[in-house]
Amino acid sequence: MFLNRYISDFKPHKLGYKKVLGDLEADVMKIIWKAGRVTVRDVYEQLRLVKSLAYTTVMTIMGRLADKGLLEKEAQGNAYVYTPTISEADFAKKVVSEVIDGLFEEFAEPAMSHMVDRLSSEDTDELARLEKIIKERRKKGAE
């Protein structure tokens, strides 16, 4: 699966998808997920409003994202049209699963303790939601 390549480059200090993608890759994917179907020109025009970069840089990044399996490209006239191969929600779920599974493989106790500590310090409602999820899973397992 293509996510394994990103998780190996996990950067916990970064924000959002930049934790698992390059900074520009994350910016490009956010634009594409929102639009659904784009050309390099479409993405370039949006990015250049907030960053100074070359059209060819955006083209290179989108080509790399296609090579990595996150984008599909289809020739249309003199240009390529790009579409995501995975929805943003599914990508987020897969990233979370990969990271947590990786932690649980070798650090289950500290990972679980930290999650509970974090939930209880942030918001007691979150801890109650976790308890509810655990009860539901146990109930399903008993059936």
pLDDT digits 0-9 by tens, 44-57 = 999 999 999 999 99
pTM for this entry: 0.79
Q: Which two tokens stand for residue 133?
A: 């999820």
Given a cut of 80, whether residue 122 has pLDDT beyond it is: no
Given a cut of 70, whether residue 117 has pLDDT beyond it is: yes
pLDDT tier, 87 (very low <50, low <70, confident <90, very high otherwise): very high
Contact 27, 38 (CB under 8 A): no
Given a cut of 80, whether residue 1 has pLDDT beyond it is: no
